[in-house]
Chain A
Amino acid sequence: MSVFYEQFNRHSHGEGLKGHSTHYCPGCGHGLVHRDLAEAIDGLGIQDRTVLISPVGCAVFAHYYFDVGNSQAAHGRAPAVALGHKLANPEAVVISYQGDGDLASIGLAETISIAQMGLPLTVIFVNNAIYGMTGGQLAPTSLMGQRTATSPEGRGREMGRPLKMAELIAQLDGPVYVERVALYDAKQRVKARKAIRKALQFQVEGRGYAFVEVLAECPTHLKLSPPETEEWVKTQMEPVFPLGVKKDLTVDPWFKRGAPSFEPEAVLGLSGADPLGEQRPATPWPPHLHANDIAIKLAGAGGDGAQTAALLLTRAAIAEGYDATHIPSYGPESRGGTSYADVHIAEGEVLNPAAPEPHVLLAFNAPSLAKFAPQVAEGGVILYDSTIVKDPTGLPPGRRIIPIPFTQIAADLGRPMVKNIVALGAMQAVVNVLPAGSILDTLHQVLKDKPALLPLNDSAFAAGQQAAEALHATA
């Protein structure tokens, strides 16, 4: 058994020589990095835990060779794919194997963000200073003056300078181990092998993210022989990309995760589901506003509590056995501006949850009243806060207009914030859609973790009711 397949069946179906030869050009550095990686996997005894992510680039077919779990990623996204694997199975040893175009160009955002996250992953970065697969174009790591297919006169200043990834990654707080190595002679190859093994070990032991940059040879696109390319890496590349350990922290193993929980109680509890309680005895549908579907619009300024009141109504209606919906206005318009809510309560099913022609409007300020009052259905009810809106004009005829000083009443109770509950009480007294007990029960249910607030809210509701009844009596 070896970490390399006995036959490369994915390479042209393993036919002929391809069953035992790589697709790499003669002298390509990738083969040596593969060898080091295979040795490290073998040496650590992790073949049955390893997932290798192959990139787009010359190493796109790494899965031809490694007898481990394999996934092939889109260009530049190998670290994201690796992270997905790591979180799916934290016991897996996941390796993101990438070239310079993949890691340092198109995938830079993934490279940096996932390095910074610092979860135990191993990134092997094969830097050969040129695009291989697409045919020798400028890489982010190409040297100044280097001639490539897309820098025919040599890399100039306007193309930017070569990107030093190992240094960049090392200065992030996430990684625990970063080293740059090379393959150009026996000594460097020994160091490379050790670095790759160490980078895997950091992951195996749950210590953190490790990054090894390997200066590798691409004889084909440098248009040099393999030995000449080794020399080029040594004399041209190394001065720009200094070898050595860039970061090596002593970190205790920390990454451990239990198996995900599928316990019904835990899931339901966290979702906020309550055990089946008693149904309220059904009350007959109040047909005075509509035969089977009442639309209510609540509108005010951002902090008026229109949405909270709307949700309370919706909950109360559902507890009552009706269907009900609530749609808030949202987004920038609700930040400080008008905030309005459409509520429907239906005996059967709410067909249309929008309320373009509400039966009831509860308006907390002048703009809301001006905007929505004309939309209220014939025979509908308009309640508004007469503390805030003085002598409104242009209210439509044929609707019941109920001015109640919500804010004043709430202020008299010591908490202007409860004006929305005052309003609900008033609305209850006037339109009587749901039994008062139903709304109060819901209020108590919602405030069950804040019992201190209950008396205030009860008084606010009652005060709203009384104010509306008093108005009714004098009218």
Chain B
Amino acid sequence: MSNATSARPKPFLQPEYCKGCLRCIEACPRDCITPGDEINPLTGLRPVALHLDNCNGCSLCIQACPEPYGLRRQAARPCVGDDFELEDPAKLFGERQVANHSAGDVPDTFVPLPACDPMILKGTYAAAIGALLAGCRHVFGYPITPSTEGAELMAKILPKLNGSFVQAVSEVAAVNMMYGAGGAGVPCLTFTSSPGFSLMLEGISYMIGAEVPGVFINIMRGGPGLGNIGPEQADIKLACRGLGHGNTHALVLAPSTPQEMLELTREAFELSFLYRNPVVILGDGYLGQMTGIVKLPATLRRPGLPAWAVWGDRAHRHNLICSIALEETDLEQRNRHLNIKYAEISAHEQRSDLYRCEDAEMLVVACNTPARMAKGAVEAARAHGVKAGLFRPITLWPFPIDALLPVLPTVRQLIVVEASPGQLEDEMRLALSHAGIAPPPIDHVRRFGGLLPQQSEILAKILNYQEVLS
């Protein structure tokens, strides 16, 4: 640096950018700055006054000024690092390891997969492999039974694919790592189970507010509290109505076979990025542990990088991931934007599976593993000559009301089967109510505490109504 006093530029100050804090006064060894005595009409503050006859341009006052546009060197940009020589970045950093995307929006590509034998997988493993095929290379989690095995498989595989599995200090940390990685635009995942999901809800609210994608696999277990590790479905309420504070919703998918664990997990990533929103997959403890046949898809997704990502490069530098909007009108605007998104999801993403519903008089409604017991019961009821059918919601939010309504005209009795105190039934009733439909009578078969409704109980209920109604 030059030390020719005369060559060093003196400070200047636009009075309206001075907050009158006086920190510069003490910093000046030549007493060039004095407290101002006039209130600036624009700010209502008292800017300092500069008397630069004695000034040697030492810049100590500039370094004491907390305001970026406060004291500045004349004709200089704010905040110049005058002590440092710029180093050649290439020399300093070596070759780049990761592509520096020049374009903002890099689309996904799909690579064909060679044909494979069907695999024989338990539900959690099937979900993990679905995620790998969806291009997920970042998994954050905290061990909790009965979801941990999926995470364990990822911990084994991901390092070999230059991916990351992080066992976080808690579920709270894990969801916030997802906020970071998802905010950087990469597909990420967690495996958790009910108590852990509760802990993640705050973070999910932030992700929804900041529009960060990410996939949450919640293998539901018995509650409330520590409960037990048996299968339950009592987080439907949380996933559909309680994703943390504020105006939140996320697609909630409910697989019922290991095959669906793979397919829906895979699809969850695409939906999550399509809508820039988290997606929740609800399984039950039984499904997580259940081994079955799983056929692999024809392609593997190589994720691109969305234009909105905070990737840390020039093309994405202007981006911000953020859920705070201080001004009420801004926040209202954001909520309206989210509401439009929720409406789009409701309109386009309802999914369901209908089994022998064409002429059903007894319509069983169930999801996850209980839907399989229900399917067995429907089949058995048909063998008794009862016109029974199964309506299986695959999306719990949005509830697939559009597929349910056309089935209802023949239905004389609805029977909701679930391992929860009516949380699935509540979703159905709410959807019916919004649709303005007075439904047929609704009854239920419910089990709790780690027990699932059994085929025999469901069948008995169906046969009982058949008798009553005929």
- A326 touching B89 in the complex, CB below 8 Å, given contacts A35-B68, A69-B317, A109-B173: no
Most A Cβ at <10 Å: residue of B27, B112, B322: B322
Query: Which A residues from 308 to 366 make CB contacts under 8 A with B?
Result: 311, 314-315, 318, 323-328, 330-332, 350-354, 356-357
- In the bound complex, do residue A351 and residue B376 qualify as a contact, i.e. CB atoms below 8 Å apart? yes
Contacting residues, chain B, for A357 (C-beta < 8 A): 456
In the complex the two chains form, is B311's CB within 8 Å of A69's CB?
yes
A262 touches B312 (CB 8 A): no
Given contacts A31-B66, A80-B173, A205-B92, contact A48 B313 (CB under 8 A): yes
From A43, A270, A272, A324, contact of B81 by CB (8 A): A43
A186 to B229, CA, bound (A): 60
Q: Cα distance A361–B2 when bound, in Å?
A: 91
Give the one of A68, A71, A114, A268 with max B CB within 10 A. A71
Is A400 interfacial (CB 8 A cutoff)? no
Contact A21 B17 (CB under 8 A): yes
Is the pair B22, A89 in contact by a Cβ cutoff of 8 Å?
no
Whether, in the assembled complex, B53 has its beta carbon less than 8 Å from a beta carbon of chain A, the answer is no
Q: Do A85 and B312 form a contact, CB below 8 Å, given A80-B173, A226-B22, A352-B455? A: yes
The answer on a CB contact under 8 Å between B310 and A42 is: no
Query: Taking the complex as formed, is B391 at the interface, i.e. its CB lies under 8 A from any CB of chain A?
Result: no
In angstroms, how far is the closest chain B Cβ from the Cβ of A265? Answer: 8
CB distance from A396 to the nearest CB of B (A): 17
* Least Cβ–Cβ distance between A173 and chain B, in angstroms: 16
Q: In the bound complex, do residue B66 and residue A264 qualify as a contact, i.e. CB atoms below 8 Å apart?
A: no
Tell whether, in the assembled complex, residue B66 and residue A352 are in contact, meaning their CB atoms are under 8 Å apart: no
B436 interface residue (CB < 8 Å to A): no
* Complex contact A71–B132 (CB within 8 A): no
Contact of A1 among B26, B77, B326 (CB under 8 A): B77
CB distance from B386 to the nearest CB of A (A): 16
Instruction: Assess the A257–B81 pair: CB atoms within 8 A.
Output: no
Chain B positions 293 through 324: 1 when the CB is less than 8 Å from some CB of chain A, otherwise 0: 10010001110000000111110110111111
Contact A73 B176 (CB under 8 A): yes
User: Is B74 on the interface with A (CB-CB < 8 A)?
Assistant: no
The residue from A63, A277, A326, A354 contacting B322, defined by CB atoms under 8 A apart: A63
Which of A3, A26, A258 contacts B97, CB < 8 Å?
Answer: A258
A458 near B: Cβ within 8 Å? no
Instruction: List A contacts of B339 (CB < 8 A).
Output: none
Q: Which partner residue on chain B sits nearest A2 by CB separation?
A: B77
Complex Cα spacing A67 to B98, Å: 22
* Contact A87/B181 with A21-B67, A80-B168, A110-B169 known, Cβ cut-off 8 Å: yes
Please indicate the chain B residues that have their CB under 8 angstroms from the CB of A109 in the complex: 169-170, 172-173
- Select one of A22, A53, A68, A353 contacting B290, CB under 8 A: A353
Mask: chain A, 119-160; 1 = CB below 8 Å from B; 0 = not: 000000000000000000000000000000000000000000
| A72-B320, A84-B140, A270-B160 as given contacts; A21 in contact with B180, CB under 8 Å | no
Q: Is there an interface contact between B68 and A94, defined as CB atoms closer than 8 Å?
A: no
Flag if B176 contacts A71 (CB, 8 Å). Answer: no
Query: How distant is the Cα of A271 from the Cα of B311 in the complex, in angstroms?
Result: 29
- The segment from B202-210, B344-352, B408-416 that touches chain A is B202-210
B259 → chain A closest CB, angstroms = 10
Say whether B290 contacts A325, CB under 8 Å: yes
A251-273 Cβ-contact flags toward B at 8 Å (1 or 0): 00000111111101111101111
- Check B116 against A40 for contact (C-beta < 8 Å): no
Cβ contacts under 8 Å, A298 to chain B: none
Partner of B23, one of A42, A226, A351: A226
Partner of B86, one of A25, A45, A88: A45
A436 within 8 A of partner (CB):
no
For residue A246, which residues in chain B have a CB less than 8 angstroms away from its CB?
Answer: none
Known: A4-B68, A82-B180, A260-B161. A311 touches B173 (CB 8 A): no
- Known contacts A17-B16, A81-B180, A230-B26; A93 and B312 CB within 8 A of each other: yes
For residue B292, which residue of chain A has the nearest CB? Answer: A325
Contact B312 A89 (CB under 8 A): yes
The CA of A35 and the CA of B170, in the complex, are separated in Å by 34
B324: A residues at CB distance < 8 A: 60-61, 72
Name the residue of chain B whose CB is nearest to the CB of A332.
Answer: B229
From residue 78 to 126 of chain B, which have CB atoms closer than 8 A to chain A?
78-81, 83-84, 86-87, 89, 92-93, 96-100, 111-120
CB atoms of B310 and A85 under 8 A apart: yes
Q: Is A397 an interface residue (CB 8 A)?
A: no
Binds A, one of B183-191, B266-274, B394-402: B183-191
One digit per residue, 1 when the CB lies within 8 angstroms of any chain A CB and 0 when it does not, for chain B 144-179 equals: 011000000000110011111010111011101111
**Residue on A with the closest CB to B156?**
A270
Q: Which residue from A65, A82, A275, A314 sits with its C-beta under 8 Å from B291? A: A314
Q: In the complex, which residue of chain B has the Cβ closest to the Cβ of A274?
A: B117
Q: List 20 A-B contacts (CB under 8 A).
A: A1-B77, A26-B20, A35-B66, A61-B326, A69-B313, A73-B179, A77-B172, A82-B180, A83-B180, A84-B180, A110-B172, A113-B169, A189-B63, A204-B93, A262-B161, A275-B115, A275-B116, A327-B291, A351-B375, A352-B372
Given contacts A35-B65, A265-B114, 20 further A-B contacts (CB under 8 A): A21-B16, A27-B21, A32-B66, A34-B68, A42-B79, A44-B84, A63-B322, A70-B310, A70-B319, A71-B310, A84-B177, A92-B313, A204-B93, A219-B21, A227-B23, A264-B112, A273-B116, A327-B286, A351-B379, A357-B456
Hey, which bits of chain B sit against chain A, CB under 8 A?
14, 16-17, 19-23, 25-27, 42-43, 45, 60, 63-69, 77-81, 83-84, 86-87, 89, 92-93, 96-100, 111-120, 129, 132-133, 135, 137-138, 140, 145-146, 156-157, 160-164, 166, 168-170, 172-174, 176-186, 188, 202-203, 206, 210, 229-230, 286, 289-293, 296, 300-302, 310-314, 316-317, 319-324, 326-327, 369, 372-373, 375-377, 379, 452, 454-456
